[in-house]
A = this chain, B = another copy of it.
């Protein structure tokens, strides 16, 4: 068994990534303009590598979690700092992020619990109405 198609490649056009993740090319260019991505160029054409693709995945996950691009940018720099031996200051920032993420986790679990309760009540009513 060989690897999946996507993981076996290393070079992507902007349209490839747009298609794969169902976003617009405009969005990708926008992320680059904001410094979240920095694809190579061949002439004027953007060439994305696996690393860029990996960052894009993180960007989109950040968005699903409701973070701003500014936040996501800070978040990505934690990964970069991790790779580039800038250990100083890193742990403090990571701890900050972790604290707020865990607060968000609490909010989320509370919300899920409440919805499950509503669901349960609704089911019980349906039973009575049988």
Tell me the A residues contacting B by CB distance below 8 Å: 61-62, 64-67, 78-79, 82, 85, 87, 90-91, 94-95, 97-98, 101-105, 107-112, 115-116, 118-119, 121-123, 125-126, 129
Contact = CB atoms under 8 A, between A and B. Distances in A.
B65 A125 contact: no
A122 B61 contact: no
Contact of A97 (B90, B103, B115): B115
A87 B122 contact: yes
Please state the number of chain copies in the assembly: 2
13 contacts: A61-B107, A61-B110, A64-B104, A66-B67, A78-B115, A79-B118, A87-B122, A91-B122, A94-B115, A98-B112, A98-B115, A101-B108, A101-B111
A121 to B, nearest CB: 6
A57 B58 CA distance: 30
A67 B119 CA distance: 21
A91 B108 contact: no
